[in-house]
Amino acid sequence: MLSIHNLHASIDEKRILKGINLEIKPGEVHAIMGPNGSGKSTLASVLAGREDYTVTDGSVTFNGKDLLELSPEERAGEGLFLAFQYPVEIPGLSTTNFIKTAVNEVRKYRGEEALDAVAFLKLMKEKMAMTNIDQTLLSRSLNEGFSGGEKKRNEVFQMAMLQPKLAILDETDSGLDIDAIRIVANGVNKLRSKDNAVLLVTHYQRLLDYIVPDVIHVLYNGQIVKSGPKELALELEERGYDFIKEQFKAEA
Amino acid sequence: MNNLEYIKERFSQLPTVNEQNGLGVIRQKAFDALNKMGIPTTRHEEWKYTRIGSFFNKEYKYHTAGTFSEADLAPVRLPAYEQANELFYINGHYSPELSVIRSKGLTVQSLQEASKNEYKDIVSKHLGHSSNYLKDGIIALSTAFVQDGVFVHIKKGQIIEHPIYIYNITDARQANVLAQPRTLVYVGENAQVKFVETFNTLGNQESFTNRVIEIVVEKDAITEYYKLQTDASHASQVATTHIQQIGKCVTHTVTVSLNEGLVRNNLNIVLDEEYCEAHLYGIYLQHGQSHIDNHTVVDHAKPHCESNELYKGMLDDQSTGVFNGKIFVRQDAQKTNAYQSNKNVLLSEGASVNTKPQLEIFADDVKCSHGCTIGRLDEESLFYLRSRGITEATAKSLLLHGFAVDILEQIKLAPIREYVDKLISERLEFDLA
Ligand SMILES: Nc1ncnc2c1ncn2[C@@H]1O[C@H](COP(=O)(O)OP(=O)(O)OP(=O)(O)O)[C@@H](O)[C@H]1O
Ligand SMILES: [Mg+2]
């Protein structure tokens, strides 16, 4: 589904991604962990098409397409979704109006008819129930004045509405209470199918109790320095990143 | 012969100039002022960024009103007009034939008449009050021809349910037109009234409108005033709205400028009694070669008054904008609350805006704040929307619409709010396509 080959990216001449290789197949869940500043959000942003970053080398294909050639909106149309680490607040745009536009623009991209009011409402009700999100929140301006947890839940709600093929969740569990983590996990698990895949960026083992990943990768200094089964998360929780950093230094 | 000479010649031909009572004196005074000051150039401090001289180097006819069919008027009519009082000005002249008065307690008559009948004290006291604040030839030019103006009276205690729509129409089907619609409004004690003003040019010749409306608001009255500017690129205007709050009362104004040509707005609010409240909002969307200049004055003359001002603008292409917001707090006006903010988004390299708050505070116990910003569309927000599958053009238009929403919400007349909302959405769609 997604293959990243030797991906290098920089911002303002600063090299951040230094040769990422990653292969995600349909049905898989991958987790990416790693110390602060190692490049996790950068990777997520480059995949979603943020233009501040310059890809200096490497390639990314998504379901057979050259992902790097597509605009952010085309990537969403192709079924890529990024739940932001820091969702943006947009005054004056109601969340409902925003999500309706998004759903229909994605449908249009795929050559599908726009949802009529009834069908849209039905879809929304269903996903609201699933993500335990309140109507009053959705009638407010997008993320404006939302609490940290509400913003994250809104990301998961948007994911549920857009039903992506590949969902990238950038620390969606950070700042959530225990119930909310379960809701997020539930949303992700519902999306999980043999055709869909998930890439989770997280700092905590806890989320991985609910969403069991197939593989865990450690990103450090712009590279994936270690990959392993879910037990790797436990090891990291116990030992921290020092042993990886040391190993990295030794190799360098 | 340039246009100013033509105007002067017309002035001397008018019979009422020699009238000693009524409007004669005020007209002669204004005419002298016009002769002395001339049409303002960019050397005039208040006209630094707005050039109107060229309009007076061309031939503009003062009167050339043609005849109108219903079909001619259909496109300029505002939504829900069937439920409104409608006042039509054609080339600056009030048209009783086209106008429709529906509400009790609303009187409309010529200023000539009002200057002689029971309203003569109001007229002599308040007509031309704006020239205390606007010291230039353009306001003098309006007053010099004030005999064509209209007096609007809202009776004490009357709640005017039907809004008053004022259509300023210039008929430029045959020739270039200069129009000077002039109005004096008196809102009696405890009355409530809503005004909506629009400007439309018919035909393809040029028009220049020098509009002055002076509104006097008595105690416990509530006045809402909405100015919609959507006129064509061959239409330009100076539009002055002068509001005098002479009793403890509330006014609420929203100025919407989607003009294609040049617009200069003067909005003066004089808070001339204790505990007055004034809310001033504006939104402007400019593109092409259009120009918008909003000059506002809020004069806190008495204590315990509150003013609240927020203007927002978006400028695309080669368009230019000016915001100049003066707030005076007179020595007397303790316990004043005055807020002002102007926010601009530039959408192209070629667009520009000059924004200048000007606070002159002579009292010590006051709360005043002001701020202005000039920015670009937020890239983070744009990326967020696009990452959800929303195309760049739609994403921009959603963001800009969102920027305008808090001003839109200040239009409390639902059909007008929806209408303006639609105009703004269409404009954004067009500009960003
Ligand atoms: N606009 C920018 N200009 C300069 N440096 C940047 C910019 N954006 C990101 N960086 C740097 O790139 C590096 C990687 O940042 P990134 O946000 O990808 O880290 P992360 O792994 O997601 O960290 P965290 O766990 O704290 O979220 C950091 O050192 C960061 O300071
Ligand atoms: Mg991050």
Instruction: Identify whether residues B234 and B120 lie together within a single domain.
Output: yes
**What is the C-alpha separation between A106 and A102, in angstroms, rounded?**
6
At which residue do the structure tokens 């809104």 appear? A154
3-state secondary structure A131-191: HCCCHHHHHCEECCCCCHHHHHHHHHHHHHHHCCCEEEEECCCCCCCHHHHHHHHHHHHHH
- What is the distance between the alpha carbons of residues A176 and B421, in angstroms, rounded to a whole number? 38
User: How many whole angstroms from its chain centre is CA A126?
Assistant: 22
Cα diameter, chain B: 72
The reported pLDDT for the residue numbered B3 is 72
Using CA coordinates, name the residue in chain B closest to A110.
B389
Last residue of a domain, one of B273, B297, B317: B273
- Amino acid residing at A128: M
CA distances from B220 to B134, B187, B249, B278, B410 (A): 27, 10, 5, 13, 20
Question: pLDDT-derived band of residue B4, with 50, 70 and 90 as boundaries?
Answer: confident
Tokens of B231: 């006129």
Res B20 pLDDT > 70: no
CA A107 to each of CA A13, A46, A73, A112, B390: distance values in angstroms, whole numbers, following the listed order: 37, 23, 12, 5, 11
Q: What is the Cα–Cα distance from A4 to A181, expressed in whole angstroms?
A: 29
Neighbours of A160 (CB within 10 A): 24
Cβ contact, residue pair B390, A105, below 8 Å: yes
| Contact A141/B at CB under 8 A | yes
The mean pLDDT value for B207-224 works out to 97
Q: Which atom of ligand 1 is nearest to the CA of A45?
A: 18
Give the distance from residue B97's alpha carbon to the nearest chain A alpha carbon, in angstroms.
43
B interface test, pick of A70, A75, A105, A151 with most B CB neighbours within 10 Å: A105
In chain B, residues with a C-beta closer than 8 Å to the C-beta of A168 are: none
Residue B353 lies in a domain: no
Q: How far is the CA of A246 from the centre of ligand 1 (A)?
A: 21
pLDDT at B366: 96
State whether residue B387 sits within 8 Å of chain A by CB: yes
Q: Do B383 and A50 touch (CB under 8 A)?
A: yes
Residue closest via CA to ligand 1's atom 9 equals A42
- Residue B273 pLDDT greater than 60, yes or no: yes
Instruction: Name the residue with the closest Cα to ligand 1, atom 2.
Output: A11
Chain A residues near residue B381 by CB distance under 8 angstroms: 88, 90
Q: Which residues of B touch A50 (CB under 8 A)?
A: 383
pLDDT of A231? 85
Q: Does A48 touch chain B (CB under 8 A)?
A: yes
CB neighbour class for A233 (10 Å; exposed up to 12, middle 13-18, buried from 19):
buried
pLDDT of amino acid B392: 95
B268 is a domain residue: yes
Is residue B405 less than 8 Å (CB to CB) from chain A?
yes
pLDDT classification of B2: cutoffs 50, 70, 90: low
- At residue B92's C-alpha, the angle toward residues B87 and B95, to 5°, is 40
Atom of ligand 1 nearest to the CA of A222: 14
pLDDT of residue B64: 59
The pLDDT of residue B301 is above 90: yes
Instruction: Say whether pLDDT at B303 is over 90.
Output: yes
User: Do B259 and B383 belong to one domain?
Assistant: no
List, as one string, the DSSP characters of B406-431.
HHHTT--SHHHHHHHHHHHHHHHHHH
In a domain, residue B324? The reply is no
Quote the number of domains for chain B: 2
Q: How is chain A split into domains, by residue range?
A: 2-90+165-251
Tokens 């609490």 locate to: A147
Pocket test for ligand 1, best of A11, A15, A32 (most atoms within 8 A of CB): A11
Cα separation, B310 vs B370, whole angstroms: 10
Residue B393 belongs to a domain: yes
- Residues of chain B with Cβ-Cβ distance to A109 below 8 Å are 389
Which ranges of chain A does DSSP label H, i.e. alpha helix?
40-48, 72-77, 95-109, 117-131, 135-139, 148-162, 178-191, 205-210, 231-239, 242-251
Residue A132, pLDDT score: 86
Q: φ, ψ for residue B249 (rounded to 5)?
A: -155, 175
Does residue B192 surpass a pLDDT of 80? yes
A12 Cβ partners below 8 Å, 6+ apart?
Answer: none
Percent of chain B with pLDDT over 70: 96
Q: How far is A108 from chain B (nearest CA, A)?
A: 10
Nearest CA to ligand 1 atom 16: A39
Does some domain include residue B280?
no
For B243, how many CA atoms within 13 A lie in the half-sphere containing its CB? 32
Distance from CA of A205 to the nearest CA of B (A): 28
| Ligand 1 surroundings by CB, under 6 angstroms | A 11-12, 14, 16, 34, 36-42, 85
Shortest distance between the Cα of A163 and any Cα of chain B, in A, equals: 11
Residues of the domain holding B386: 377-433
C-alpha distance from residue B409 to each of A134, B300, B405 (Å): 24, 26, 6
Using a CB-CB cut-off of 8 Å, the residues of chain A touching B386 are 49, 71-73, 76
Per-position pLDDT tens, chain A of length 252: 999 999 999 999 899 999 999 999 999 999 999 999 999 999 999 999 999 999 999 999 999 999 999 999 999 999 999 999 999 999 999 999 999 999 999 999 999 999 999 999 999 999 999 888 889 999 999 999 999 889 999 999 999 999 999 999 999 988 888 888 888 898 889 888 899 999 999 988 888 889 999 999 999 999 998 898 988 888 888 888 887 778 777 766
**Quick one: tokens of B415?**
């059909």
> Is residue B206 packed enough to be buried (19+ CB in 10 Å), middle (13-18) or exposed (0-12)?
buried
Instruction: Select the residue of B386, B391, B406 nearest A92 (Cβ to Cβ).
Output: B406
Closest CA to B215 of B296, B136, B129: B129
Check CB contact of B382 with chain A, cutoff 8 Å.
no
Task: Name the closest residue on chain A to residue B389, using Cα atoms.
Answer: A73
Q: Are residues B394 and B259 in the same domain?
A: no
Average per-residue pLDDT for chain B? 93
How far does residue A43's CA lie from ligand 1's centre (Å)?
Answer: 10
Nearest in space to B139 (alpha carbons), one of B69, B46, B269 = B46
Residue B183 lies in a domain: yes
Task: Please name the residue whose Cα sits nearest to atom 7 of ligand 1.
Answer: A11
Half-sphere exposure of A27 (CA within 13 A, CB side): 1
Contact A49 B403 (CB under 8 A): no
Give the CATH H-level superfamily of domain A2-90+165-251.
Answer: P-loop containing nucleotide triphosphate hydrolases (3.40.50.300)
CB atoms A162 and B389 under 8 Å: yes
- Beta strand A2-11 with A54-62 is antiparallel
Give the pLDDT of residue A238: 81
Contact call for B387 and A49, based on CB within 8 A? yes
Question: Nearest-CA neighbor of A105 among A67, A74, A141, A83?
Answer: A74
Please indicate, yes or no, if residue B335 is contained in any of the structural domains.
Answer: no
For an interface test with B, the pick among A98, A159, A165 (most B C-beta atoms closer than 10 Å) comes out as A98
Which ipTM was obtained for this model?
0.96
What is the percentage of chain B residues whose pLDDT exceeds 90? 84
- For residue B190, pLDDT over 80 is answered with yes
Which residue of A76, A90, A101 is in closest CB contact with B387?
Answer: A76
The residue type at B125: K
pLDDT at B250: 98
Mean pLDDT of B25-35: 90
Sign of torsion, CA B132 B135 B138 B140? positive
Asked if residue B358 belongs to a domain, the reply is no
Q: What is the pLDDT of residue A252?
A: 61
Report yes or no: B406 at the A interface, CB cutoff 8 Å: yes
Q: Which ligand is nearest to the CA of A18?
A: 1
CB count within 10 Å of CB A226 equals: 19
Contacts of A69 (CB under 8 A, 6+ apart): none
Tell which one of A7, A11, A16 to mutate to probe ligand 1, the residue whose CB is within 8 A of the most ligand atoms.
A16
Taking the Cβ of residue A105 and every Cβ of chain B, the question of whether any pair is shorter than 8 Å is answered with: yes
